[in-house]
Structure 1
Amino acid sequence: MTAEPRLRSARSAPVQPGPHPELGLVRRPAFWLVLALLVAGAARMGVITAQYATAYPWALIAATGLFALLAVPFWFVVSELDFLEREPPALLVLAFAWGGLVATTVSIPGSAALDDIIAKLGSPHLAADWGAALAGPTVEEVAKTLGVVAIVLIAREQINSVLDGVVYGAMVGLGFQIVEDIVYAMGAVALAGRGDHIEPVVTTFLLRGFLSGVWSHTLFGALAGAGVGYLVVRGDRTLRTRLGVAMLAVLGAWASHVLWNSPLLRDGLGNGALALLAVLVFKGLPPLLLTWLLVRTAHDREAEYYTAQLATLDDPELVTAAEIQALKFGSRRASARWHARVRAGFRAWAAVRRLQRAQARLAVEISRGSPDLARWCHEVRRQRRTLTRLGHPEAIAPDGKGPWRRTASAVFSTALAVAVLWAAISALGGA
């Protein structure tokens, strides 16, 4: 028998659940405006791509393939940030497309024009040293932030927490990063003057994709997106406060970008891979930590709200008290899946993941007061039966097992990342 949950008021919640985005999108003028901008950006990028395809076809294929592969883990991590209230794939694609088609085609001529202004108002020497640090971030961060604003205009109901702003901002930044890196790779091929060779593409991939990707446009976009999300959802704050926080977030993204592009420590902290690695950490770690804190805080607020919805259910077949606690934290969800894998095999791991997703979706539907609750109650029960047949009826990890595994995993991942960075820098000769 399907449980009838008691609904909580969304008005006082830190998140504001919205209906499905498919409802009425095409009736909104903003949708057609954004679509027109995407078409114009695609046409412009098509012209640029056609020029490179004619001159350097194999290099273009290599660049597109390498950076497309790089986009996969970034896409997975960003889309998983908001596990409890996942964003519609169509809007994630739109955000990615804005960054790759609109923001890039605006930024290429815009940054060049602003660089010329800096040279005229200041000096050619100033433009040579600081043009990339001042012109690029100023144009690019505005163009990318407008992508998150476009999502708000199209589907305001889908921006219901600060974390949503982070996700959409990161997706815009990811689209920008991938397309810009492909353009830079092809520029490196042309600059090398050796014809249709892929060596400059591989070098650009290591430098701009692998070494710089972790603290590049995806990160800057996430910072700015957090500000837009705060402006939209925090109706409990004054408009002046919300505008101030939004402007501060965009300024933070701009400042992080300026620091990354700046000539500071251009000569490094000495010679060799270790010195260059130290410079990368010095410039990239502050915004990375800031974004992590924002994501952690926003995730915790959202998790408290949605798990409170599940707590209104009085049916352990749908969710147990221990599972509610596990759903609140990404590390505990991962530990529950790992424990199922060790205890009952890969099928149990997959069933726990599907159960967690179904429970998260059920919490969202409860918050919306959706008539579709019976469907998701049925899905949760179906995954529960699968786990019961596998001898693992509850999606949790025993106390004491999860934290040790998470610590070991974090240490191993950090060591592996440093080793790979070291190898990549050494392969480039520390240059």
Structure 2
Amino acid sequence: MSDPVRPGVRQPAALTRRPAFWVVAALLAAGAVRIAQITGRFLDVYPLATITAILLFALLAVPFWLFVSELDFLEREPASLRVVAFAWGGLVATSVSIPGSNALENLIAKLGSPHLAAEWGAALAGPTVEEIAKTLGVIAIVLIARPQVNSVLDGVVYGALVGLGFQIVEDVVFAVGAVSLAGGGDQIQPVVTTFLVRGFLAGVWSHTLFGALAGAGIGYLVVNPDRTRRHRIAMAGLALAGAWASHVLWNSPLFRDGLGNGALALLAVLVFKGLPPLLLILYLVRRAHDREAAYYVGKLAELRDPALITDGELLVLGSGSRRAAARRHAAARAGRRARSAVRRLQRAQARLAVELSRATEPEVRHHAEVRKHRAVLEQLGHPEAVEGDRTWRHTVSTVGTTAVAIGVLWVALSLIN
């Protein structure tokens, strides 16, 4: 996808004046009532299991939320719109999908056969209803705050957050459903098993990823006015079809019995079904991020003022890995305060870049903010937020982190086998 970047804009101050805002608010309210009713029934029958499920999956949502929010470091989405996206997925999309998927499965059984519905109903009905419902959430963001979607990466972020909201609520429903199927009363073991399978193991590949892919298509539709409407709609449709196909593959009965017994066989199935869409969205995110970084860093380069940003910092600011390396370098040289100061400087430089992209003169406060954080770094003896040379400690840390991640994954797979 070609991805132009529009200048950064302020969030409109009067969103409530737009009819679309009230439509979205009404849908969110209706969804909240529906989910509250479902949760109330769960609490009546399985209070311990329901509370455990809510807590576990809420904790799971935190790292996903933080990671997705950081994808667009240079021009972060307003927190209010991120909350709307998450709420749409958790309240509206789930409320529509629960009855909608059941109705479509019944239709498949009538038009096809009960056997077809039993084997492929979840793979065909679920993705069809759910991906449309989630994509409508990104469209809702566009309708109430279109200027905030100014790159494909913005569409990815909003789509991923819609998917995350959907995934968390759906997983809680599945966890309590597993308790009911187990028939052992108000027990937490089925909840923990569901958490390991649907949350810990499948979380990387599922709704957050599908939503991000469809959101990329909506982002492309919005930020490419130079392309024909037919072309933009076709690309958005292709992205939605990709999300749908990835979801169908994930829900399909293919390899339902695995590739054998044991943790390694289950891991192979997860990779086979989840790796293709993951690689695709990583490619799209990297491409969109690089284009956006080049645009905003280019604005900062025009300043030619080392008090605001040096040549070394220009190289670092446009890369997530280099920004992180610069923080580690600061911590190694001048302690944790320097690490925090580098992060604040990078954030201030990003805000200044967005201000520079606007038609109006950039606000003086962002120049002052950058200089303030620069002064803190100078006092700590680390005046420039640049990455240091890679050392053996960095290599050991990377290898150690990878080994721990593999170990945790292996233990989780072993527990459910």
**Would the TM-score normalized by the shorter structure come out above 0.5?**
yes
For the aligned residue pairs, the C-alpha RMSD in angstroms reads 1.5
Matched-pair contact (CA < 8 Å) for 1:17–1:158? no
Of 101, 105, 110, 1:111 maps to: 101
Normalising by structure 2, report the TM-score: 0.97
Q: Does 1:310 align with 2:300?
A: yes
> Residue deviations 1:247-305, cap 9 Å, x none?
11100000000000001111111111100001101111111110100000000000000
Q: Distance in 1 between matches of 2:362 and 2:337?
A: 27
Aligned to 1:128: 118
Q: CA deviation at 1:312?
A: 1.2
Structure 1 pair 293–343 and aligned structure 2 pair: CA distance change class (3 A): same
Q: Distance in 2 between matches of 1:337 and 1:369?
A: 32
SS at match of 1:214: coil
> Residue deviations 1:10-59, cap 9 Å, x none?
xxx92113432242200000000000000000011111011011111111
Aligned to 1:217: 207
Report the more deviating stretch, 239-248 or 406-415.
406-415
Aligned to 2:76: 86
Aligned to 1:354: 344
> Residue deviations 1:78-113, cap 9 Å, x none?
000000000000000000000000000000000000
Matches of residues 287-366 of structure 1 in structure 2 within 5 Å?
A: 287-366=277-356
Q: Distance in 2 between matches of 1:415 and 1:271?
A: 23
Structure 1 pair 147–378 and aligned structure 2 pair: CA distance change class (3 A): same
Structure 1 pair 290–414 and aligned structure 2 pair: CA distance change class (3 A): farther
Matched-pair contact (CA < 8 Å) for 1:265–1:279? yes
Q: CA deviation at 1:422?
A: 1.3
Report the more deviating stretch, 364-373 or 44-53.
364-373
Matches of residues 137-152 of structure 1 in structure 2 within 5 Å?
A: 137-152=127-142
Aligned to 1:8: none
Report the more deviating stretch, 270-279 or 185-194.
185-194
Q: Distance in 1 between matches of 2:81 and 2:267?
A: 36
Q: Distance in 2 between matches of 1:370 and 1:134?
A: 50
Aligned to 1:425: 413
> Residue deviations 1:210-257, cap 9 Å, x none?
111010100000000000000000123222221111111100000000
Q: Does 1:384 align with 2:374?
A: yes
Aligned to 2:255: 265
Matched-pair contact (CA < 8 Å) for 1:331–1:406? no
Q: CA deviation at 1:189?
A: 1.3
Q: Distance in 1 between matches of 2:229 and 2:40?
A: 46
Structure 1 pair 180–354 and aligned structure 2 pair: CA distance change class (3 A): same
Normalising by structure 1, report the TM-score: 0.94
Q: Distance in 1 between matches of 2:271 and 2:333?
A: 39
Structure 1, unmatched stretches of 5+, are 1-12
Q: Distance in 2 between matches of 1:23 and 1:279?
A: 48
Structure 1 pair 409–80 and aligned structure 2 pair: CA distance change class (3 A): farther
Aligned to 1:401: 390
Q: Distance in 1 between matches of 2:299 and 2:282?
A: 26
Aligned to 2:223: 233
Matched-pair contact (CA < 8 Å) for 2:61–2:168? yes
Q: CA deviation at 1:369?
A: 3.5
Kindly provide the amino acid, as one letter, of the partner of residue 45 in structure 1: I
Structure 1 pair 372–58 and aligned structure 2 pair: CA distance change class (3 A): farther
SS at match of 1:34: helix
Aligned to 1:159: 149
Matched-pair contact (CA < 8 Å) for 2:128–2:244? yes
Structure 1 pair 408–296 and aligned structure 2 pair: CA distance change class (3 A): farther
Structure 1 pair 169–405 and aligned structure 2 pair: CA distance change class (3 A): farther
Aligned to 2:159: 169
Q: CA deviation at 1:370?
A: 4.5
Q: CA deviation at 1:321?
A: 1.1
Structure 1 pair 252–408 and aligned structure 2 pair: CA distance change class (3 A): farther
Q: Does 1:276 align with 2:266?
A: yes
Q: Distance in 2 between matches of 1:15 and 1:64?
A: 38
SS at match of 2:276: helix
SS at match of 1:84: coil
Q: Does 1:35 align with 2:43?
A: no
Kindly provide the amino acid, as one letter, of the partner of residue 384 in structure 1: R
Count how many residue pairs are aligned between Structure 1 and Structure 2: 415
Structure 1 pair 165–217 and aligned structure 2 pair: CA distance change class (3 A): same
Structure 1 pair 253–412 and aligned structure 2 pair: CA distance change class (3 A): farther
SS at match of 1:215: coil
Matched-pair contact (CA < 8 Å) for 1:14–1:305? no
Matched-pair contact (CA < 8 Å) for 2:179–2:185? yes
Structure 2, unmatched stretches of 5+, are none
Kindly provide the amino acid, as one letter, of the partner of residue 422 in structure 1: W
Report the more deviating stretch, 181-190 or 157-166.
181-190
Q: Distance in 1 between matches of 2:149 and 2:386?
A: 30
Structure 1 pair 172–384 and aligned structure 2 pair: CA distance change class (3 A): same
Matched-pair contact (CA < 8 Å) for 1:82–1:167? yes
The alignment-based identity, stated in percent, is 70
Matches of residues 175-190 of structure 1 in structure 2 within 5 Å?
A: 175-190=165-180
SS at match of 2:303: coil
Report the more deviating stretch, 333-342 or 229-238.
229-238
Q: Distance in 1 between matches of 2:298 and 2:247?
A: 38
Report the more deviating stretch, 164-173 or 188-197.
188-197
SS at match of 2:357: helix
